[in-house]
Amino acid sequence: MKSKNLSEKILKSVKSKGFKYIELPSVIEANHIFQRSGENFRKFVFSFIDQNGNELCLRPDLTIVSCLRYLENNLKSKEKIFYSGQAYRKSNNKKDSIIRDQVGFEIIGSNDEKKDDKEIIDTSLKSLKNLKYAAGTLTVGNIQIFNLLISKLEIPNRWKLRLARHFWREGYFNDLLKRLETNSDVDPITVEIDKKRFLKMTKENKSSVIAERSIDEILKRFDKKIKDPRRPSEGRNISKIIRQFLKIKCPISKAANELNKFFKKNKINLAVDQKYFPFSNNKVSKLNVIFSTTCGRQLEYYTGMVFKIDIKSKNKIKNVCNGGRYDKLIFDLGSKRKVPAVGAAVNLS
């Protein structure tokens, strides 16, 4: 089969870069997924109950399974690993396949961030030599820059947390921006009504639960909300800044300059230099290299550098590789410490 031969060639290519092959389980405990991604993610997962009453699921993502392996084996040192196999995830788009054949590779537990980021991209580029294509695009982004921007904006902390947490959920994120523009979360009449409820709740049992939250938690959240007000004009201005930021797209060599111009124009105390990015050349092999602030919004666990590679073959554009940095993923899965990690996956189907 063509795909099998292609897979073997890519695996050989990755191995030549010093990565060690590992096997990953196809079935994992479902709670690992739902605790991290939330119950809303359940509709995308193929799950079932085993004979002992435990909920299991087919792996929806190879990276998560690899990170679980690192965590459960209590590993501490740097690892350069690679693997292959299928991931199973439902989609809202009926045309999408529920099975994804991938070759993945990762560097886990290393603090040499810039070197590791570039090595992952270089390994991806070497893998592409096994594919036939006329041209393509390597798009690079950085989730950390977005989070730095959000941290500098003059909005309540609860809004900073919301926007950072839901950046990957594009539809919901846009709804949040609309709410920010209209100040709909701080309606004066509603606040006065809630103040009366607040005073009434202070006299009730703090451990009682209402709508899956304890009264104590509700009181703390509301108290913080009324002490952290925001004017409608501020919300509109902040939303405008965020929307403008998300339009930045340019050749990678101009990324630092474009970002710094944006920061200066909007009086944001931030600056980046070109060393912040893994590439300065606008052309690598047959690929145009560009920077985009929206790159990497498809997966919720990215924290830093992100990239994707799209190629043109037979007049069709196909996404063949995605990757990035996820320094919080192993911690979110249950580790007591944050473990640096970066990786990528080549799509075979």
HSE-CB for 242 with a 13 A CA cutoff: 28
Q: Note the pLDDT of residue 3.
A: 64
Task: Specify whether 247 is located in the same domain as 143.
Answer: yes
Tens-digit pLDDT string for the chain (349 aa): 356 788 889 999 999 999 999 999 999 998 887 777 667 778 889 999 999 999 999 998 899 999 999 999 999 899 999 999 999 988 877 777 888 889 999 999 999 999 999 999 999 999 988 888 888 999 999 999 999 999 999 888 888 998 998 998 888 899 999 888 876 555 454 555 566 676 777 777 777 777 667 878 777 776 665 555 555 567 889 999 999 999 999 999 999 999 999 999 999 999 998 888 888 899 998 899 999 999 988 778 899 999 999 998 777 888 899 999 999 999 988 888 999 999 999 988 7
Under a CB-based contact definition with an 8 Å cutoff, are residues 285 and 132 in contact? no
CA-CA distance, 291 to 174, in Å (whole number)?
A: 22
Task: Specify whether 138 is located in the same domain as 248.
Answer: yes
Backbone angles phi, psi at 287, to 5 degrees: -105, 135
Q: What is the pLDDT of residues 210-221, one digit of tens each?
A: 766 787 877 777
Binning the chain into helix, strand and coil, the percentages to the nearest 5 are 45, 25, 35
> Could you list the residue range(s) of the whole structural domain that residue 173 is in?
169-241
CATH number of 282's domain: 3.30.930.10
Q: Give which of 130, 135, 230, 219 is closest to 180, Cα–Cα.
A: 230
Q: What angle do CA 213, 216, 218 make, to 5 degrees?
A: 55
Last residue of a domain, one of 211, 226, 241: 241
Q: Note the pLDDT of residue 22.
A: 95
Altogether, the residues listed in the chain come to a count of 349
Last residue of a domain, one of 218, 241, 264: 241
151 CB-near residues (< 8 Å, 6+ apart): 160
Task: Specify whether 270 is located in the same domain as 223.
Answer: no
SS3 at position 208: coil
Under a CB-based contact definition with an 8 Å cutoff, are residues 26 and 18 in contact? no
Task: Specify whether 176 is located in the same domain as 322.
Answer: no
Q: Note the pLDDT of residue 152.
A: 94
Whether the predicted model's global pTM rises above the 0.95 cut: no
Show the tokens assigned to 151. 């941290």
How many Cβ atoms from other residues are within 10 Å of residue 293's Cβ? Answer: 24
Show the tokens assigned to 131. 């594919």
Look at residue 187 and tell me if it is in a domain.
Answer: yes
Mean pLDDT, the chain, rounded, equals 86
Under a CB-based contact definition with an 8 Å cutoff, are residues 309 and 319 in contact? yes
CA-CA distance, 182 to 18, in Å (whole number)?
A: 53
Q: Note the pLDDT of residue 247.
A: 96
